[in-house]
Amino acid sequence: MGAEVIVISNSIVRPESYSEESDRVKIHLTPWDLFFLRAEYPQRGLLFPQPDPETRIISQLKSSLSVALKIFYPFAGRLVKIKNEDDGTASFYVDCDGSGVKFIHASAKSVSVSDVLEPVDGNVPEFLNRFYPANGVTSYEGISDSLIAFQVTELKDGVFIGFGYNHMVADGSSFWSFFNTWSEICFNGFDSDHRRKFPPLLLRGWFLDGIEYPIRIPMSETETPNRVVVTSSLIQEKIFRVTSRNISELKAKANGEVSSDDRKISSLQGVSAFMWRSIIRNSGLNPEEVIHCKLLVDMRRRLNPPLEKECFGNVVGFATVTTTVAEMLNNGLGWAALQINKTVGSQTNEEFREFAENWVKKPSILNAKAFSNCITIASSPRFNVYGNDFGWGKPIAVRAGPGNTTNGKLIAYPGIEEEAAIDRLPLDLLAYIFSLVTSFTVLGQASGVCKKWRKAVNQSMARRESLSFAGWKMDDDSTSRLVHLAYNLKELDISRSRWGCHITDNGLYQIASARCVSNLNSVSLWGMTAITDSGVVQLISRTSSLQHLNIGGTFITDESLFAIAERCHHLKTIGMWCCRHVTERGLLVLVNKCRKLESINLWGTRVPVDCFIALLTISPALQIKPMELLLNAQNPPPLLHAV
């Protein structure tokens, strides 16, 4: 199908509060980095459900990306090339100068989610190539191009986020760590408490002794051909879905054919061997031809001393299995899997070191010739792909874009299992179905809800404008989960019930990060005795439209009133029944700043009558309910008559 992609904006997102003095760092490149000098940016994409129409996803994505780049600052830098005139070589390093990353906002309203998931001919549709931001860009071009790039394309009923990154700067493990952090920041908000959760970036500190940095490369090896942007390809791309049962069967079969007791074939090795044999069997190659299988191996824990698994950078090595067509086809699945197992196992600190020493003596840059008669297995099913939620739902699918595309390349990703996950559902809707059950906790322990039901429940929840938990037994987690799903929520009632709600300050902290909080116009926390200033202040700090607030029965003080006075300028009514720790000082600040306030319930407080006089002096139309009286300027307390 011919999908029209319209670019709405093209911008640069820079790290938040970048400081030239403290944030600018030079990162030297290792032989394994420079090996990828001519490689194209690996490109991937995630397909998401459609956000709520009122959600400003582009501004949220860009703001949270800026915060994430502050943490993962190398991505916001540029590659620097130094020409060494004395010996005709060139050197490279990464300058973390805060130049920023490319961010494209595009629209393809003629494309639906089903067009991506269920193409007519069964192949990955070619129009997807236009959903990626770095087509044809090579690592070398990081001198002028951003080291990571994003394109957010809004579809008819979904959103596709495409991205590409420079393999000299990071490998898949580091990239997905960055992406997981970005989505978490976008989902939870940018407050200082949440930011402290993320530790400082741990840079790769492993450099081979005896090598002078920056490494010098012959100038001829740094020459790159003109960029070729391919929007269509003769190579057909397919999506193969391997079920858990298939994987278990292949793993069992491979291990059953291996006699060695000291080796165990992994699930990935079993599947890789099966795919390799299937491709070769149907390739038409002659029996004597030499064939290869290349796998990218994470070397962090294989080095001596080992690096931390969170270490940022490009720390992967190529494990290459070599055999002939005849040998492959004359042996079974177990034999092929064992060759992969042995080769991966041989990737040690010594092998890595030997590669580096030899490479420095005679630099060689990765090129297309290395993939002749070869299948390449990239990425990993261990990457956290489907856990990325920016605030409007987790990904529906993952796709690979143009970049280093060769015949026989396999990209492995985890699949979306059909497991029952009722404990992640919006339980208030299930409560409607299970009307005889009076505890959300009981419902949370149920299981067996199908995927379509979960999707329908989420969509229903997103349309809600009012939520009331009166009559239900709730806790912090279940309440927060529901509120986070209700993007359109305007009214939230978390009041005490006969079942005894257990909402605490921690629950309000969780709720405060929900997208709907800024749009709430009515909140009731009546009777929640476990709530104090800490929770109320946090919740109020995220509101901007609040008109009605009931905090009666909570253990608040003037600190909460000061926060309300600063944030809730549209407030019309407030209930503080039995809030015995509020004083005249807090009330005066509240009424003085909330000029739209119409009524205030102070029943059961310890505020003296003199305070009511002062409040009415500030706002004569204000209705005050102390004890059983309703006071305003037309119905003053006896003291007012004597004035």
Q: Domain segments of the chain: what residues?
A: 6-201, 244-375, 464-641
Query: In angstroms, rounded to a whole number, what is the distance separating the alpha carbons of residues 183 and 159?
Result: 14
* 445-470 pLDDT tens trace: 443 344 445 555 566 667 778 888 76
Topology (CATH) of 6-201: Chloramphenicol Acetyltransferase (3.30.559)
Say what the pLDDT of residue 640 is.
41
Say what the pLDDT of residue 210 is.
72
Exposure pattern of 221-259 as b/e (b: 16+ CB <10 Å)?
bbeeeeeeeeeeeeeebeeeeeeeeebeebbebbbebbe
Query: In angstroms, rounded to a whole number, what is the distance separating the alpha carbons of residues 473 and 362?
Result: 70
Helices (H), 374-517: 427-433, 440-444, 451-463, 476-485, 505-512
Q: What Å distances lie between residue 438 and 328, 331, 425, CA to CA? A: 62, 61, 17
Assess if CATH 3.80.10.10 describes domain 464-641.
yes
Write the DSSP string, 458-496: HHHHHH-SEEE-TTSB-BHHHHHHHHHH-TT--EEE---
For residue 506, with 0-12 CB atoms within 10 Å meaning exposed, 13-18 middle and 19 or more buried, which class applies? middle
Radius of gyration of the chain (CA): 30
Query: In angstroms, rounded to a whole number, what is the distance separating the alpha carbons of residues 337 and 354?
Result: 26
Work out the number of other CB atoms within 10 angstroms of the CB of residue 591.
Answer: 23
Say what the pLDDT of residue 131 is.
97
Query: In angstroms, rounded to a whole number, what is the distance separating the alpha carbons of residues 566 and 470?
Result: 29
* 411-433 pLDDT tens trace: 998 887 543 333 333 444 444 44
Query: In angstroms, rounded to a whole number, what is the distance separating the alpha carbons of residues 133 and 402?
Result: 10
Query: In angstroms, rounded to a whole number, what is the distance separating the alpha carbons of residues 102 and 151?
Result: 8
Please give the span between the terminal C-alpha atoms of the chain, in angstroms, as a whole number: 82
DSSP 244: H
pLDDT under 70: residue ranges of the chain: 1-2, 22, 122, 190-196, 205-208, 224-234, 260-262, 417-461, 470-473, 497-501, 626-643
For residue 369, the one-letter residue type is K
Cβ-Cβ contacts under 8 Å for 170 (sequence gap 6 or more): 74, 75, 148, 178, 312, 313, 314
Closest CA to 254 of 330, 334, 332, 341: 334
Query: In angstroms, rounded to a whole number, what is the distance separating the alpha carbons of residues 303 and 352?
Result: 8
Closest CA to 46 of 185, 126, 160: 160
Annotation says 261 is catalytic = no
Class of domain 244-375: alpha beta
Q: What Å distances lie between residue 320 and 317, 353, 367, 502, CA to CA? A: 10, 16, 15, 57
The active-site residue, picked from 389, 423, 475, 477, is: 389
Say what the pLDDT of residue 495 is.
81
Count of residues making up the chain: 643
- Same topology for domains 244-375 and 464-641, yes or no? no
Q: How many CA atoms lie within 13 A of 567 on its CB side?
A: 23
Cβ-Cβ contacts under 8 Å for 201 (sequence gap 6 or more): 71, 72, 73, 74, 312
Q: What angle do CA 303, 305, 307 make, to 5 degrees?
A: 70
Say what the pLDDT of residue 431 is.
43
The active-site residue, picked from 105, 167, 484, 548, is: 167
Query: In angstroms, rounded to a whole number, what is the distance separating the alpha carbons of residues 40 and 164?
Result: 9
> Which helix H or strand E contains 93, and what residues bound it?
strand 89-95
Say what the pLDDT of residue 37 is.
94
Query: Which residues share a beta bridge with 246?
Result: none
Considering the entire predicted model, what is its pTM? 0.66
Q: Kindly report the three-state secondary structure assignment for every residue of 150-186.
A: EEEEEECCEEEEEEEECCCCCCHHHHHHHHHHHHHHH
Annotation says 475 is catalytic = no
